[in-house]
């Protein structure tokens, strides 16, 4: 049966019942496999929700309205002549209002007998009545279509408004987010700046301590070198002189110093006093000031103009005076002062010898082979802190 059905698939008959298609009961219906079966056979073969094709056995899901809602195959030539297909194309003469079907003379005898209580009507009034019903249904459908078109238009407008509202909300979210982000970045920058300030202050304090330690190390290395030299010479006069110098440095605090014992990582002022009154005043000042980097730095006045330094056989020297501002107090800064010469190459060199001449006068001596012709700068520091007016530039000729 399947083979014959396949052969007749493109013909004008149903592959199941082999009857001709028409536009009433045996309407040709398309299945999802593209085979065609008449409506009556579809109704007989259908399951609850699906229909198995009688040709290829492929399943077709039935639409919501049932088999009648399957797509009609309008490509087939359907018999639509004014004749009854069941009775050899006899002309239709009546319309059965009971069964809503056309009837020929044979139909009135076999299918539409009066015993079946069929209401037979002439074709012309039946056609007019049917057209009137169709026009009413057409009007109702057009009204419903217009109503649904209005709903669709309203829905489309609401969709456009919804999309516009969404885009506006997204822009507002982006703006708010960028504002928050700007505040966060500003707070981040402020926090970093505060961190940098704290770091700079602490780094400066540690650098001062490091420079003070380096100055003490230089002093200790000088003393160690003097002691080692005295031990190598094995001379009593040299040994006594070195020992006396060390004793003077050690006992300096016993004659008027009001400061506690100096720690290895701290720098303190050593001073001599000329009166008890100034001694008590200086005691109050130093006790409130604490370590050396909290004490206001004195001012430097160069007495030997650095620009007049001449290249000669004698070692070059620089003379300067430190003004303290207290006439009756003399402070010896020898162990805290450092004098550096910066060469044209950028190298920083330390003075070979620094002498205190009294009354705040000092002389820095450099090796004779240290200076060559060129432009130099001299810098005087106190505990590695640059003093006011303590930097000058000079030339050697």
Per-residue model confidence as pLDDT tens digits over 30-73:
999 989 999 999 988 887 788 889 999 999 988 888 888 888 88
Q: What is the pLDDT of residue 372?
A: 67
Alpha-carbon gap, residue 369 to 345, rounded angstroms: 16
Alpha-carbon gap, residue 313 to 368, rounded angstroms: 7
Q: What is the pLDDT of residue 155?
A: 94
Confidence of residue 257 (pLDDT cuts 50, 70, 90): very low
- What 8-state DSSP symbol labels residue 297? P
Residue 362 maps to a domain: yes
Q: What is the pLDDT of residue 318?
A: 81
Residue 25 maps to a domain: yes
For helices 236-250 and 123-233, give the axis angle rounded to 10 degrees.
130
Check: CB of residue 29 under 8 Å from CB of residue 67.
yes
Domains in the chain, number: 2
| Distance set, CA 291 to CA 25, 129, 215, 261, 334 (Å) | 117, 122, 15, 12, 17
Give the lowest-confidence range in 47-61, 71-85, 233-247.
Answer: 71-85
HSE value, Cβ hemisphere, 13 Å, CA-based, for 5: 15
Residue 373 maps to a domain: yes
Check: CB of residue 383 under 8 Å from CB of residue 208.
yes
DSSP states of 316-369: PEEEEEEE-S-TTEEEE-TTTEEEEEE-TTS-EEE-SEEEEEETTEEEEE--TT
Residue 299 maps to a domain: yes
Report for 296-300, 311-315, 354-358: range of highest mean pLDDT: 354-358
Q: Which of 20, 49, 80 is the last residue of a domain?
A: 80
CATH number at 61 reads 3.30.40.10
Residue 179, SS3 per DSSP: helix
Please say if the pLDDT value at position 229 is more than 70: yes
Share of the chain above pLDDT 70, in %: 71
- What 8-state DSSP symbol labels residue 290? -
Q: CB atoms < 10 A from the CB of 20, how many?
A: 17
Per-residue model confidence as pLDDT tens digits over 203-220:
988 988 888 888 888 888
Q: Give the domain extent around 62.
A: 1-80
Average pLDDT over residues 143-169: 94
Q: Which of 80, 101, 119 is the last residue of a domain?
A: 80
Please say if the pLDDT value at position 142 is more than 50: yes
Query: Which two three-digit tokens encode residue 158?
Result: 């609401």
Q: Which of 80, 97, 132 is the last residue of a domain?
A: 80
- What 8-state DSSP symbol labels residue 234? T
At residue 218, what are phi and psi to the nearest 5 degrees? -60, -45
CATH number at 361 reads 2.60.40.10
Please say if the pLDDT value at position 266 is more than 50: no
Per-residue model confidence as pLDDT tens digits over 161-188:
999 999 999 999 999 999 999 989 998 9
- Residue 330 gets the label, from left (phi > 0), alpha (psi -120 to 50) or beta, of beta
Q: Output the average pLDDT for the chain.
A: 75
Report for 2-11, 190-199, 303-312: range of highest mean pLDDT: 190-199
Q: What is the pLDDT of residue 7?
A: 39
Please say if the pLDDT value at position 294 is more than 90: no
Per-residue model confidence as pLDDT tens digits over 307-337:
556 665 566 778 888 776 554 445 667 777 7
Residue 367 maps to a domain: yes
Please say if the pLDDT value at position 278 is more than 60: no
Q: What is the pLDDT of residue 113?
A: 63
Contacts of 275 (CB under 8 A, 6+ apart): 328
Please say if the pLDDT value at position 6 is more than 50: no
Confidence of residue 261 (pLDDT cuts 50, 70, 90): very low
Alpha-carbon gap, residue 54 to 36, rounded angstroms: 10
Residue 195 maps to a domain: no
Q: What is the CA radius of gyration of the chain?
A: 60
The dihedral through the CA atoms of 18, 35, 22, 45 has a sign that is positive
Q: What is the pLDDT of residue 171?
A: 94
Residue 101 maps to a domain: no
- 217-232: burial string, b at 16+ Cβ within 10 Å, e else: eeeeeeeeebeeebee
Per-residue model confidence as pLDDT tens digits over 88-130:
777 877 888 888 888 887 887 777 666 567 888 888 888 888 8
Residue 298 maps to a domain: yes
Report for 77-81, 148-152, 342-346: range of highest mean pLDDT: 148-152
């Amino acid at each position: 049966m399947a083979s014959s059905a396949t052969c007749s698939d493109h013909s004008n008959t149903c592959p199941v019942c082999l009857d001709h298609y028409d536009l009433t009961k045996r309407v040709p219906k398309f299945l999802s496999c593209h085979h065609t079966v008449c409506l009556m056979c579809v109704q007989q073969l259908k399951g609850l929700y699906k229909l198995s094709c009688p040709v290829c056995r492929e399943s077709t899901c039935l639409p919501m309205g049932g088999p009648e809602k399957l797509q009609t195959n309008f490509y087939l030539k359907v018999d639509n002549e004014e004749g009854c297909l069941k009775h050899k194309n006899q002309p239709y003469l009546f319309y059965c209002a009971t069964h809503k079907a056309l009837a020929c003379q044979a139909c009135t005898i076999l299918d539409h007998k009066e015993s079946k209580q069929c209401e037979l009507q002439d074709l012309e009034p039946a056609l007019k009545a049917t057209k009137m019903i169709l026009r009413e249904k057409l009007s109702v459908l057009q009204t419903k279509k217009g109503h649904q078109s209005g709903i669709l238009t309203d829905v489309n407008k609401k969709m456009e408004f919804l999309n516009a509202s969404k885009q506006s909300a997204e822009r507002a979210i982006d703006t708010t987010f960028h504002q928050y982000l700007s505040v966060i970045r500003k707070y981040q920058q402020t926090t970093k700046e505060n961190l940098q300030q704290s770091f700079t202050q602490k780094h400066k304090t540690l650098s001062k301590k490091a420079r003070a330690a380096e100055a003490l190390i230089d002093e200790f290395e000088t003393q160690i070198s003097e002691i080692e030299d005295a031990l190598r010479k094995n001379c009593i006069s040299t040994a006594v002189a070195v020992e006396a110098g060390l004793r003077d440095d050690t006992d300096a605090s016993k004659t008027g110093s009001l400061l506690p014992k100096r720690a290895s990582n701290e720098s303190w002022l050593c001073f001599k006093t000329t009166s008890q009154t100034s001694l008590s005043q200086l005691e109050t000042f130093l006790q409130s000031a604490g370590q050396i980097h909290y004490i206001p730095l004195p001012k430097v006045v160069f007495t030997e103009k650095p620009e007049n330094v001449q290249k000669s056989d004698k070692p070059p020297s620089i003379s300067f005076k430190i003004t303290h501002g207290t006439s009756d107090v003399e402070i010896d800064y020898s162990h805290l002062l450092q004098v550096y010469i910066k060469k044209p190459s950028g190298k920083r060199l330390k003075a070979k010898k620094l002498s205190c001449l009294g009354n705040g006068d000092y002389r820095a001596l450099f090796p004779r082979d240290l200076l060559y012709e060129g432009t130099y700068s001299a810098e005087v520091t106190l505990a590695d802190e640059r003093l006011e007016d303590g930097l000058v530039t000079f030339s050697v000729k």
